[in-house]
């Protein structure tokens, strides 16, 4: 049985939100949209809001203009996020076109800033979108898996980060869940196409179900993304979702719900690691 202190902690709810919009090459307009949604999140007492991949700059197909518009982590975009987070005492997650050490490429980075206005966590996309006729790796430096899993805490809930195409690689989500993450935030720019919306919904729910965690997937709205942002609980239940246009969504989450689901479905504890962990040297051992 949990102690009285643990019971209070488990029964606490946290309001989380997503701001779905379509970033453009107009950086000030992108920040205006973000500011609008942060204010709405504050009005609803949200502790966390997640924005799409490439929130700082997007102009359709990748090209040299992205490299030219890449910013350092201490640049204007992240500084503006820090001011908003501090003003509203909120955690903000957003996609950044970030500078890299390679002159003709940039880093597809997700940054989380906290209520003190400082960066809490960053994540650079590991699985680049070289599929469905796209070649993200032509312009983007692939992120590394070295170091601890990318995570930070929001009111007692551990939040992990990954990005868009990473959804198709369940081992990445499992890695951060094994590090204690209870909510996975996924900024995305999910490109449309045959069955792509079906893939998006299925994969988001699958990552929640198989890991018994919450998943908050924030997508870009049309014309460059399918929208369809959603927040899913540890049983795969969609708690909040939106359509293709720019929109705001929010819901309450709780550690008690995770505890209930894991009591009924202790799949994480039942894994046969002696069966599923590949032998040393196997090609499937690393991402």
Q: For the segment 95-147, what is each residue's pLDDT rounded down to a tens digit?
A: 999 999 998 999 999 999 999 999 999 999 999 999 999 999 999 999 998 88
List the one residue out of 152, 173, 283 whose CA is nearest residue 217: 173
CB atoms within 10 A of CB 152: 21
Confidence of residue 87 (pLDDT cuts 50, 70, 90): very high
Active site residues: 53, 125, 164
* Residue 150 or residue 285, greater confidence: 150
Domain coordinates in residue numbering, the chain: 12-276
What percentage of the chain exceeds 70 in pLDDT? 92
List the one residue out of 228, 231, 118, 241 whose CA is nearest residue 185: 231
Whether residue 7 is predicted with pLDDT greater than 60 in this model: the reply is: no
φ, ψ at 189 (rounded to 5°): -135, 75
Confidence of residue 272 (pLDDT cuts 50, 70, 90): confident
Confidence of residue 287 (pLDDT cuts 50, 70, 90): very low
Structure-block tokens of residue 98: 């970030």
pTM assigned to the model: 0.92
- pLDDT score for 202: 98
Fold of 12-276: Nitrilase/N-carbamoyl-D-aminoacid amidohydrolase (3.60.110)
Name the CA radius of gyration of the chain, rounded: 18
């Amino acid at each position: 049985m949990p102690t009285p202190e643990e019971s209070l902690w488990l029964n606490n709810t946290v309001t989380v939100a997503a701001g779905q919009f379509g970033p453009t090459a107009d950086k000030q307009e992108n920040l205006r949209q973000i500011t609008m949604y942060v204010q709405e999140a504050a009005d609803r007492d949200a502790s966390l809001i997640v924005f799409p991949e490439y929130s700082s700059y997007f102009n359709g197909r990748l090209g040299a203009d992205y490299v030219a518009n890449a910013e350092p982590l201490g640049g204007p975009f992240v500084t503006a996020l820090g001011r908003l987070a501090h003003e509203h005492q909120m955690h903000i997650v957003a996609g950044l076109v970030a500078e890299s050490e390679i002159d003709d490429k940039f880093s597809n980075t997700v940054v989380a800033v906290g209520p003190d206005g400082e960066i809490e966590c960053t994540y650079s996309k590991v699985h680049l979108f070289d599929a469905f006729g796209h070649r993200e790796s032509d312009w983007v430096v692939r992120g590394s898996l070295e170091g601890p899993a990318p995570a930070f805490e929001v009111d007692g809930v551990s939040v992990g980060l990954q990005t868009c195409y990473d959804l198709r690689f369940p081992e990445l989500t499992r890695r951060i869940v094994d590090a204690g993450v209870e909510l996975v935030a996924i900024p995305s720019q999910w490109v449309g196409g045959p069955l792509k919306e079906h893939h998006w919904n299925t994969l988001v729910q699958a990552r929640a179900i198989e890991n018994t965690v919450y998943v908050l997937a924030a997508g870009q709205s049309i014309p460059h993304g399918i929208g369809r942002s959603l927040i899913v609980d540890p049983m795969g239940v969609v708690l909040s979702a939106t359509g293709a246009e720019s929109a705001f969504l929010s819901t309450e989450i709780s550690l008690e719900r995770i505890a209930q689901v894991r009591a009924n479905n202790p799949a994480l504890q039942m894994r046969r690691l002696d069966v599923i962990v590949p032998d040393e040297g196997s090609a499937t051992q690393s991402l």
